[in-house]
Structure 1
C-alpha cells in the first residue's frame, strides 16, 4: 500500500471496502483447544499437534486459569535477560503460553513436559516460565505414553491402531513394550515372589495375577470408589471398556471398604474427605435449651438406633467444652490415646444435645451401653465437676439385685414377703431398726431363694403355710457352712415377717444347729516366709503388711481413710460401727511401706481427691471418692497363695503363743473377750480349766 504524501513513515487507513471483505479476526475461537470438563479422565492419548502464533491470536480474549502467573514470570525473565525488543518478545511468548495452558488435559492442573514439544522453538523458554510459576508437571520416571507410531504390527507391516498405547491388563494408556505397563509388570513380579500366581478375578472374571481375589485394575477401581474425594463415584460403576471380549461378562460390584491402601495418596484423600465431611456437618435440631420449661419427665433416650459414626457439627459452646475436656485430661497426666472413648462419648452427646443445659447421667449410661468404643466413667466425673451433669438418684447394685431376685419368685405371696424382708433389713419396716449392709441383704435373699422355690413346688402358696418340719427338711441335706448360712437367713426372714405381722408364728425360732467352732491354727513357716518378696506393687505390699502384721480384715482395708493414717505419730485408726475406734501403732518397716505407697500414688494420680487410703485407676479419678472393692483385696491374696483370713489367724495365734494374755490380744488387734480367750486357749490348751475348776 502506498504511503500518503507529506506524512512519511505512517500507514494509510484500511479502506472500508477492504475491511468488509476481511472482517475482524475471531478472538475466542471454540475450535482452538475447546474447554473441557475439569476432573474428567482422558480416554485416548493426545494426538500429535503443532501450535503457531496464528492459533494464539484466535484465543487472545479467552480467560485461562494460571495465565497471569505465567505472564508475570515472563516479564521477570525479560527484565533479567535485558531483552531489547521486550514488547515483541512478550507478545509472542504470552500467546504461546495461553495455548499451552488451554491445551492441558482435563484431569491435570499442570502442563505435561512432553507437551512442550508441540510449542516448537518456544518450548524451552516457556518451560522455564511454567516451572517458575509452578505449572509444569514433574518429569515421570518412565514413559507414560508410548512413542507415536509404535506398536505391534499385523502381517504385511500394517500397525494395529486399536491396541496402540494400551496395557492388556489394566487398559491404561501407558505401555512401551506393547504388552504390559510398568505397574502391571511390577504387580505380577511381586505376586510371583510371594508364592502367588494367576487365577480368575472375582470381579472382572479374567485370569490374571490376583491379590485378595481381584486383579490390579479391579483393586484400583474399588479403591478409587472407596475414597472418593472428587465425588464422581457411582454405586455399581466401573471403567469404560472398549471392544474387549470380557466386557460383556464383567461382574460389577458395589463399593468395598478396606481395599484402598492405608498410606500414600489414599491416606491424603481420606484426610481430605474427613475435612470436607466435617465442614458440611450441620448442628443438631435437638439441642437442649436451658430456658425452655419441661412439660413432663422425658424417658431415657434410645441411642442404639443413632448413627454415631457421623455426629452433628459442634456448637461453639460444645467445641469449647471438648477442648476443656482435653485440657482436663492432660492436666491429670492421663494418656489421651487410652481414653478416646470418653472423648467420643462427649462429642456425640454435645453434638446432639449441646452444652448449654446439663446432660442427664442416664443418657450417658444408655449411650455407653450401646458399644465398646464409648466410655462414660471419667466423663460423668468431669461433667459433675463442671456442674453440667444431671445426676440420677444413687442406686445400690446389691439391693437392686436382691429386688430383681425377689421379683423372679413364681408365687406372688412369697415374692411380696421377700420384698418386705428386704425393707426390714434396710431399716424401712413398720418398726425402725438398724439397717444391714447391702451385701448382707443380697446374700440372704440369694440363700433363701432356692428353698422358697422348693416349697412352692411342694404346693405351698403362702409363708403362713411353712412349718417347723419344712425348715428342718430344708436343712437336713446340708452340712457345715451351707447349713449355717441357710439357717441364719431363714431365721432372719421369718423374724422379719413375724414383726411385720405377715405370719402368725415364727417356725424357725425353736430350730438350732450344733456348732463346732474350729480351733484357730497357725500356718507353716515356709508358706509365710518371703511373702513380701513376691510382690512388687507398693499398694499390695502395704495391704499384705497390714494383714500379716496387724491382722486387719479385708473390709477394714478398703474403708481406711487417709486421715486415719498419722505418719508423724506412727498410728492408724480403725473405725468400727457401734464400737470405739481401735488405734494401731505401726512399726518402722510398715511406715516405710506406707511412705512408698504415698509417693507412688502422688506420682501416678497427683490430682486425686479420693479420701480413701487405697485407690486404683478407677477410684482415684472418681470425684465421688468411692472405695475399692473387697474383691480386689481377695484377688490379691489369691495371687499370693494365702487367704487373708488364714494369714490373719496365723498372726493372732503367733502372738498368743508369745504372750498367752487375752488382754494383750485385745489391745493389739481389737478382739472381743471371747475371741481373745479362744485364741489363747488354742495356743495353750494346757491352761483350759477342767469341769470342776472354780
Structure 2
C-alpha cells in the first residue's frame, strides 16, 4: 500500500459517468411512462381526540424559520392532497395558489394534537400569523368532510359583549330570547329562525330601554310595567317606532314561551317607520362611473343606471343569463341598451384575460371570488359604483316615472315593483329637484 501511494492518488469527481446496463453506445432506448393505476386514496377520520394536559403556546414564527414537523398521519395527508388537487383543478386555481395551499396544508397536518382527527378551524386560522392564506385551506378541508368548525360566531361574541353589563336575571331572559330568534322553536309555540341582522337590530333598538331599567334597579323583565315602557319611549318619530318594534318582539317571544307573565308594551301604540322620500342623484358622479376606464365599474354602473337592477340581482347575475343582448332576470327578459352591451363586452373580455382559468359562473367576480364559485359581496358592488346600488336604482326609477308622466304600471313592469312600492315614488313626481343636475 505504501509503495502504491508513492506518487499520490488521482482524485475523481463522483457520478460524472453513468453506466448504461444492457445498452450499446449510439443506441437510444425508448422510454415509456407506466400508466398510473393506483386508486384514489380514501380516509376515515378518527372519532376521538387526544386530551391536552394544559394549553401550550405554539411559536409558529420559530417554526417558519426552523421548519415544522411532518404530518403524522400519511393516509390523511395523501387523501387531503388528492382533494386539494381536484378542488384546484375544478376552480381554476393557479400553480402558485395550489402550491401555497399545499404548503399550508402540510403545516396544519403536522401541528395536529390528534393526527387523523378532523381539522379544527381555529388551528387553521392561527396560521395567518405566519402569512398562510387560510381561506383556501378551509375550503379544501370542508370539501373533504374533514373540517370541524369550532369558531365562535361573531354574532354570539357581539351578544355576550352587549348584555354583559346587565343584571344576571335579565341576561338569562335575553339569552333565551336570543336563542329562539336565531334557532327558532320546534315546540309550541313554534317559530322559524330569524336572521342575524334582524336579531341584531331588535336588540340594538331595545338596548336604551334595557339599560335604563337596569340603572333604575330592575333585575328582570317580569318587573316591567306599561308605565315603565312609557317612561323610556321617545316622544315620536322613527326613534319611538324602532324602540317599540324591538321591545314588542322581545316581550312577545318571552311571553309566548311563558318566561314573563305580562306584555307591558301591548296596549301602547308606537307608530311605524317614516318612509324615506327617494330623491334623484347628481348626474356627474353617475356619468363618471359609466365612462370609467375600469371595466368592472363601467359595466356595473351602466346596468344599474340604465335598467335599475338591485344589488342582490347584480351579485347573483350569471353568464348564462346574458344571451343575444338580452338579460334574463327571473321571469323577466330585459333587452339591454347598447351602452350597457358595449361595457359588458369590455368587462367580459377583461375577465377572460385576467382570470382565464376561473370556474366562477357569475358575471361579476373579484380577485377573491375568482378562485371559487361564490358571488361578490355587497361592498364590492358599492365600491365599484361609488354609491349604493339602491341610490342609483332610485334615480333611474324617478327619471322613468317623470318621462312616462307618472305611469305606475309601467315602472312596475320595468323594475319589478309592487303597486305599494311604486306609489312611494309617485309622491315626489312634482319635486323641483327631480331631475337633479339634468
Give TM-score, length-normalised by structure 1. Answer: 0.48
Structure that is richer in helix per residue:
2
Matched, 1:547 2:293: no
Distance 1:322 1:415 in 2: 46
Distance in 1, matches of 2:417 and 2:151, equals 34
Counterpart position of 1:69: 10
Name 1:619's counterpart in structure 2.
369
Asked whether the 8 Å contact 2:242–2:273 carries over to 1, the reply is no
Residue of structure 2 equivalent to 1:635: 383
2:394 maps to what in 1? Answer: 649
**TM alignment of 1:237-636, pairs within 5 A:** 294-295=47-48, 304-305=58-59, 307-309=62-64, 310-313=67-70, 332=92, 334=94, 336=96, 342-352=101-111, 357=116, 359-362=118-121, 364-368=123-127, 371-385=129-143, 387=144, 389-393=145-149, 397=153, 399-405=155-161, 408-426=164-182, 428-429=184-185, 430-476=188-234, 481-509=238-266, 510-513=268-271, 516-533=274-291, 535-558=292-315, 560-562=316-318, 565-568=321-324, 570-574=326-330, 584-622=334-372, 625-636=373-384
Native 8 Å contact 2:43 2:79 kept in 1: no
**Cα separation, 2, equivalents of 1:302 and 1:601:** 46
Larger Rg: 1
The alpha-carbon distance between structure 1 residues 421 and 620, as it changes in their structure 2 partners (threshold 3 A), is farther
Aligned pairs for 1:18-417 (under 5 A) are: 60=2, 67-69=8-10, 294-295=47-48, 304-305=58-59, 307-309=62-64, 310-313=67-70, 332=92, 334=94, 336=96, 342-352=101-111, 357=116, 359-362=118-121, 364-368=123-127, 371-385=129-143, 387=144, 389-393=145-149, 397=153, 399-405=155-161, 408-417=164-173
In 2, are the aligned partners of 1:614 and 1:628 still within 8 Å (CA)?
yes
Deviations 1:295-336 (CA, angstroms, capped at 9, x unpaired): 457689866256523213468775897799689869946372
Contact 1:542 1:590 survives alignment (8 Å): yes
Q: For residues 435 and 570 of structure 1, do their structure 2 counterparts lie closer, same or farther at Cα, with a shift above 3 Å needed? A: farther
Tell me the number of residue pairs that the alignment of Structure 1 and Structure 2 aligns. 393
Identify the structure with bigger relative contact order (alpha carbons < 8 Å, sequence gap 6+): 2
User: How far has the Cα of 1:522 moved from its partner?
Assistant: 1.8
Alpha-carbon spacing, 1:328–1:390, altered in 2? closer, same or farther (3 Å): closer
Q: Distance in 1 between matches of 2:203 and 2:374?
A: 25
Take 1:419 and 1:595, find their aligned partners in 2: how far apart are those partners? 52
CA–CA distance in 2 between the matches of 1:365 and 1:448? Answer: 37
Contact in 2 for aligned 1:402/1:441 (Cα 8 Å): no
Displacement of 1:377? 1.1
Partners of 1:396 and 1:570 in 2: CA distance? 44
Q: Structure 2 CA distance, aligned partners of 1:442 and 1:601?
A: 37
Alpha-carbon distance in structure 1 between the residues aligned to 2:425 and 2:222: 43
Q: Which residues of structure 2 form unaligned runs of 5+?
A: 14-41, 433-438
CA distance in 1, matches of 2:410, 2:116: 61
CA change 1:392–1:554 in 2 (3 A) is: same
Secondary structure in structure 1 of the residue aligned to 2:10: helix
Task: Return the offset for 1:651.
Answer: 1.1
Q: Aligned equivalents of 2:314 and 2:306: distance in 1?
A: 13
C-alpha contact 2:121 2:150 (8 A) present in aligned 1: no
Relative to structure 1, the CA distance from residue 498 to residue 328 in structure 2 (aligned partners, 3 Å threshold; closer, same or farther) is: closer
Aligned mates of 1:522, 1:670 — CA distance in 2: 19
Deviation of the 1:615 alpha carbon: 2.8
Question: What is the distance in 2 between the residues matched to 1:584 and 1:400?
Answer: 42
Corresponding residue number in structure 1 for 2:412? 666
Alpha-carbon distance in 2 for matches of 1:474, 1:589? 54
Gapped regions of structure 1 (runs ≥ 5): 1-26, 28-59, 71-132, 135-288, 575-580, 687-694
RMSD: 4.2
The normalised TM-score by structure 2 is: 0.72
Q: Are the equivalent residues in 1 in contact too, given 2:104–2:132 (CA < 8 A)?
A: yes
- Cα distance in 2 for partners of 1:536, 1:485 equals 43
Note the C-alpha offset of 1:458.
1.3
